[in-house]
Amino acid sequence: MSVLPREAVRLGLAAESKEDAILAAGRILEELGAVEPGYAEAMLERERGMSTSVGEGFAIPHGTDESRSLIKTTALSFAQFPSGVDWPEDRVYVCIGIAARDDSHMEILASLATILMEPEQARQLREAQDPEVVLSVLAALEQPTPEQSQPNEEANHQERTASLPG
Whole-model pTM: value is 0.84
CATH of 6-162, one of 3.40.930.10, 3.30.420.40, 3.40.50.720, 1.10.357.10: 3.40.930.10
Burial of 9 (0-12, 13-18, 19+ CB in 10 A): buried
Residue 31 has, within 13 A of its CA and on its CB side, a CA count of 17
Q: What does the pLDDT look like over 31-60, one tens digit per residue?
A: 999 999 999 999 999 999 999 999 999 999
The answer to whether residues 9 and 135 touch, using CB atoms and an 8 Å cutoff, is yes
| Nearest alpha carbon to residue 95 among 43, 160, 165 | 43
Question: Torsion over CA of 30, 39, 17 and 133, rounded to 10 degrees?
Answer: -50
Q: What is the pLDDT of residue 110?
A: 87
Q: Which position among 10, 18, 62, 105 bears the catalytic label?
A: 62
Confidence tier at 109 by pLDDT (50, 70, 90)? confident
Confidence tier at 1 by pLDDT (50, 70, 90)? low
Mean pLDDT value across the chain: 86
For the question of residue 62 being annotated catalytic, the response is yes
* Cα 83 from Cα 91, distance rounded (Å): 9
Instruction: Return the higher-pLDDT residue of 142 and 72.
Output: 72
Q: What does the pLDDT look like over 127-166, one tens digit per residue?
A: 999 999 999 999 877 754 444 433 334 433 444 444 444 4
Give the chain's end-to-end CA distance (angstroms, integer).
43
